[in-house]
Copies of this chain bind each other. A is one copy, B any other.
Amino acid sequence: MHTIFELQQLIEEAIKKVEYPAHPSKLYEPISYIMRLGGKRIRPVLLLLSSEFFNNDATKAIEAALAIETFHNFTLIHDDIMDNAPLRRGQDTVHIKWGVNNAILSGDVMMVEANKHLTNLDSGVLKNALHCFNTTAQGVCEGQQLDMEFEQRNDVSIVEYVNMIRLKTAVLVGGAMKLGAIVGGASEEDANHLYDFGENFGIAFQLQDDILDVYGDPVKFGKQVGGDIISNKQTFLLLKLKELAQGDDLALLEAQYPNTDYPAKIESITKLYNSYKIRELAVTEMKRSLEIAFTALEKVSIEAVKKNELIALAESLLDREH
């Protein structure tokens, strides 16, 4: 089996080798642009790892890994349009650089490119792989829709929120792992266990992200600490606080929403989080998802030692605050 680092190299090399048509250049340049902005390539690496649990030759799964990474980057282009986001990984977003119409269309053709990668898989696994991919892609679209709708609502429940991050983020992690398993030749049962691992790990990862926004080490987090607080983003923490805060505290919270003195706003809301032990509640929720994830992983019928690389990767991803 390859190490995580080797798998990352493998996927980076594969991405570099993909050739898009030269014309129309404005249609294809954004694809190369976003695919080469970098990132940790977590989804394709998890896919390859999952595949290697059942088949040592990770190269057999590379087209599936490219499909997942291409699809993921397509969603980034379209999400950035919808979120009106100017920057992605510190660079101009595609719609800023090429215009909205161009970004819509380049995204569309990326979806086709993702499907082209999938079509290169062995005929024997193709149908299952497509089924998994389509279900995954559909879930991701549903998640983005819910995310947009939640921004217009102020009565979102914790259950609804967790379902939204499940669809928007975790389904793709689960889908990538299931797809890898399918391509590697896993039984349906094992593929589903790996899906469950990925989905629940994905939820834990997103909850951790919500926690780090407030409690992360500013140097190591890589984003502005308190960014979610500033933008009144309805994270697990905020929703939990809204659920628990009473009387004066609730009034204090609501009074902070329009506050443009950001350091004061961050301090004030963090104080509320602390007094209601929101961090601890979020950690408990995160650990609950992790437990489901690791229980599912235990059920995968491969030697325990093979799982170590995945466990190490999962732990390192959750250990980002230190």
Contact = CB atoms under 8 A, between A and B. Distances in A.
Interface in A205-239: none
Interface in A175-194: none
B109 A111 contact: no
B134 A115 contact: yes
A148 interface: yes
Interface string A109-136: 1011101101100010011001100100
Contact-size category for A: 35 or more
Contact of A112 (B78, B109, B118, B134): B134
Given A24-B145, A82-B101, A119 B115 contact: no
B24 A146 contact: yes
Contacts of A277: none
A127 B118 CA distance: 10
Nearest to A27: B145
Contacts of A148: 101-102, 105
A108 interface: yes
B141 A105 contact: yes
Contacts of A138: 109, 112-113, 116
Contacts of A26: 145, 149
Contacts of A21: 142
Interface string A70-99: 000000001001100000000000000000
Contact of A119 (B130, B145, B149): B130
B82 A105 contact: yes
